[in-house]
Structure 1
Amino acid sequence: MSEPLPSDPCTLYVCTTCRDAADPAEGPRAGARLHDALAQALAARPGLPVRIEPVECLSVCKRPCTVAVASPGRWTYVYGDLDPAISADVILDGIGLYAGTPDGIVPWRERPQEFRKGVVARIPPAPVTA
């Protein structure tokens, strides 16, 4: 398998079932609000090589709101503790940096503060099988 190009698209998975402690029993959960904010922010950034996918659960319930970024041949990252009201642009900035690398590894100091503080997991690329 060839190494991904910096322009290859990546997928941003957004846990839509994440619940904030302040969420009302009825109404959209924090994760769904984050997904909506990200979709709106992405629409304002044509050309950013990212696809946003809602997912039912990322199993990081103690650190809502949670997203994961993945791309073939790159490391996958899971980030938590994101604020649905203000994090969309920061997340997309970080994903833009991720998309600009061949392996998904953005130097620590270049990552947005929310990614440095909120990293939950870093998962190696899946091996290529013949």
Structure 2
Amino acid sequence: MAEDLAPQDDSPQAQLAPVVVTVCTTCRREGVDPEAKRPGRVLAEALNGADLPEGVTVRGVECLSACSRSCSILIEGGSERWSYIYGDLDPEDHLADITAGITAYATTTDGLVPWRERPVIFRKQSVARIPPLKLPSVDLTKDD
């Protein structure tokens, strides 16, 4: 019963679902040495060692099927947040902006970071925005 006496953290941050950043580790840009470490692998390793907020996990996968937009990442945070796929990222030039964007996303309850607060690469290099599972569907029986 001692656990019932533990202090509760009711802060908004404590109520947020964990954030997962998935990085494609296999794609590469045209003209890159095929024997060199893939940019996605470099980015995944850099993000894994970055100072990200508590509750953010970085994982690498072999393909996000965004080959023409490599290096790419998926940022998702539970069934109530929008998810995003970003592409054309450079692990060396964009790392600070990527970590800032992840940090901003992690503080939201719905995944919607105000436009002007997003890093420029997140404004310009979005591949897709995926709705949360709990978002109501559009009524397809009505004419608009």
User: By the TM > 0.5 criterion, same fold?
Assistant: yes
Bigger drift between 20-29 and 72-81 goes to 20-29
| Helix, strand or coil at the partner of 2:96 | helix
* Structure number with higher relative contact order (C-alpha < 8 Å, ≥ 6 residues apart): 1
Structure 1: unaligned runs, 5 residues or longer: none
Structure-2 residue corresponding to 1:105: 112
Give percent identity, aligned residues only: 45
* CA apart distance, 1:122: 0.5
Checking the alignment, whether the CA contact within 8 Å between 1:70 and 1:77 is kept in structure 2 is: yes
Out of 18, 23, 32, the position equivalent to 2:41 is 32
Aligned length: 121
8 A contact 2:24–2:72 mirrored in 1: yes
Choose which of 114, 123, 130 in structure 1 pairs with 2:130: 123
Residue number in structure 2 paired with 1:22: 31
Q: Is 1:57 the equivalent of 2:63?
A: yes
Q: Is the 8 A contact 2:52 2:99 kept in 1?
A: no
* Offset, 1:127: 3.4
Gaps of 5+ in 2: 1-11, 136-144
Query: Partners in 1 of 2:40 and 2:69 — Cα distance?
Result: 11
Q: Secondary structure at the match of 2:48?
A: helix
TM-score of the superposed pair, with normalisation by structure 1: 0.84
Q: Is the 8 A contact 1:38 1:89 kept in 2?
A: no
CA deviation map 1:3-25 (0-9, x unaligned): xx545320000000120223212
Q: TM-score, normalised by structure 2?
A: 0.77
Amino acid at match of 2:104: L
CA distance in 2 between counterparts of 1:20 and 1:46 reads 26
Provide closer, same or farther for how the CA distance between residues 36 and 124 of structure 1 changes in structure 2, counting only shifts above 3 A. Answer: same
Contact 1:48 1:96 in 2 (8 A): no
- Mapped partners of 2:52, 2:102: distance in 1: 14
Q: Distance in 2 between matches of 1:94 and 1:22?
A: 28
What's the RMSD between the two structures over aligned residues? 1.7
Give 1 or 2 for the bigger CA radius of gyration: 2
Instruction: Determine which of 55, 79, 83 is the counterpart of 1:76.
Output: 83
